[in-house]
């Protein structure tokens, strides 16, 4: 049975390099599971694989979308599931590497089939929110899908809005579409997370941000500044610099904020990973050794 090796871990833990080491040894490609590296024009701030790494191993889903293009974990799942059989033609094992946990999970566990939200429904929900606010949205959701209304975090506007979108789009409830089941895949999945002591990880993060600044992150951010409202740029490393460009934050504060927010991001990734019993935390050398064994 073909196998998918998943290399994940918090940001700045060294996933990219480890994946390249593994892929080059076993002769396979790398599927990147990163919701920001997938966009073009952000190589520095997203710590995308270097030109050398890209030259050494073929990467998928890196630098292939314009910033204004919509993307999602569901699309990622679809595209990866289409791609994998082709890759397995030549290699029995493939590597997926990335820190966008939702993307990783979409591939490893599958997402439920939900309707694609039309432009009109999307607008309708936004207008509704403007008119009746979050409380009104919650009241509406309680009528249309009381089961999910009890479950959802009532303060989380995005989730409430999304549930309503699905109700409107499908004419049914969000609850009935949520099966909560893991999709059976016809391939083996091995998941590893890079395990580093937290203080080491935080040091790496701080040093990497300094290196990004050295490497020209400010210029990179400047080039996309005019697109700052896009979701693809609601990203650590850019939003802070945009505030600096706007004059609402001084440069040093912006850099410190990038470090801080990157640490916060890493923590959230760890929280996600820790609760998944299928993910094994190991030091990078052990991961490599085990795969090559």
Least distance to RNA, CB of residue 106, Å: 8
Separation in Å, CA 207 to CA 23, 189, 200, 252, 269:
26, 33, 11, 15, 19
User: Does an H or E element contain 220, and which?
Assistant: helix 217-224
Give yes or no for a contact between 193 and 214, defined as CB atoms under 8 angstroms apart: no
Say how far apart CA 114 and CA 166 lie, in whole Å: 7
For residue 264, state whether it binds RNA (rule: CB under 7 A).
yes
Q: How far apart are CB 269 and RNA at their closest, in Å?
A: 7
Helices 73-88 and 101-108 cross at an angle (nearest 10°) of: 50
Task: Please tell me the distance from the alpha carbon of residue 179 to that of residue 201, in angstroms, as a whole number.
Answer: 36
Q: Is 111 an interacting residue with respect to RNA (CB under 7 A)? A: yes
The yes or no reply on residue 11 touching RNA (CB under 7 A) is: yes
Contact mark string toward RNA, 26..55, x via CB under 7 A: --------xxxx-------xxx--------
The interface region with RNA, picked from 20-28, 59-67, 84-92, 231-239 by CB under 7 A, is: 231-239
DSSP structural state of residue 192: E
For residues 93 and 257, which CB has a smaller minimum distance to RNA in the complex?
257
Nearest distance in Å: CB 271, RNA = 4
Question: What's phi and psi for 167, nearest 5 deg?
Answer: -60, -50
| Nearer to RNA among residue 97 and residue 291 (C-beta) | 97
**Rounded least distance, CB 89 to RNA, Å:** 27
The binding site for RNA (CB under 7 A) comprises 11, 34-37, 45-47, 70-75, 99-103, 111-117, 122, 153, 155-159, 162, 178-181, 198, 231, 234-237, 260-265, 267-269, 271-272, 274-275
């Amino acid at each position: 049975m073909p196998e998918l090796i998943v290399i994940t871990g918090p940001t700045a833990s060294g996933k990219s390099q480890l994946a390249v080491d593994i892929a080059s040894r076993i002769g396979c490609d790398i599927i990147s599971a990163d919701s920001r590296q997938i966009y073009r024009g952000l190589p520095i701030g997203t710590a995308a694989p270097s030109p050398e790494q890209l030259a050494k191993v073929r990467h998928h889903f890196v630098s292939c979308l314009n910033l204004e293009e919509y993307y999602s974990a569901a699309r990622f799942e679809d595209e990866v599931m289409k791609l994998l059989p082709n890759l397995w033609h030549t290699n029995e094992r493939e590597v997926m590497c990335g820190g966008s946990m939702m993307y990783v999970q979409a591939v490893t566990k599958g997402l439920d089939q939900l309707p694609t939200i039309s432009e009109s429904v999307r607008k309708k929900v936004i207008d509704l929110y403007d008119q009746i606010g979050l409380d009104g949205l919650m009241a509406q959701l309680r009528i249309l899908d009381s089961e999910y209304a009890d479950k959802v975090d009532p303060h989380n506007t995005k989730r409430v809005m999304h549930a309503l979108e699905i109700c409107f789009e499908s004419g049914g409830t969000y609850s009935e579409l949520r099966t909560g089941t893991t999709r059976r895949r016809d391939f083996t999945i091995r998941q590893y997370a890079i395990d580093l002591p937290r203080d080491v990880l935080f040091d790496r993060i701080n040093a990497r941000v300094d290196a990004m600044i050295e490497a020209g992150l400010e210029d990179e951010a400047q080039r996309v500044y005019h697109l700052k409202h896009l979701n693809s740029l609601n990203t650590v490393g850019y939003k802070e610099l945009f505030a600096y460009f706007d004059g609402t934050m001084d440069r040093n504060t912006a850099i410190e904020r990038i470090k801080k927010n990157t640490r916060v991001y890493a923590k959230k990734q760890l929280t996600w990973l820790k609760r998944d019993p299928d993910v094994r935390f190991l030091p990078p050398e052990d991961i490599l050794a085990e795969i090559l064994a």
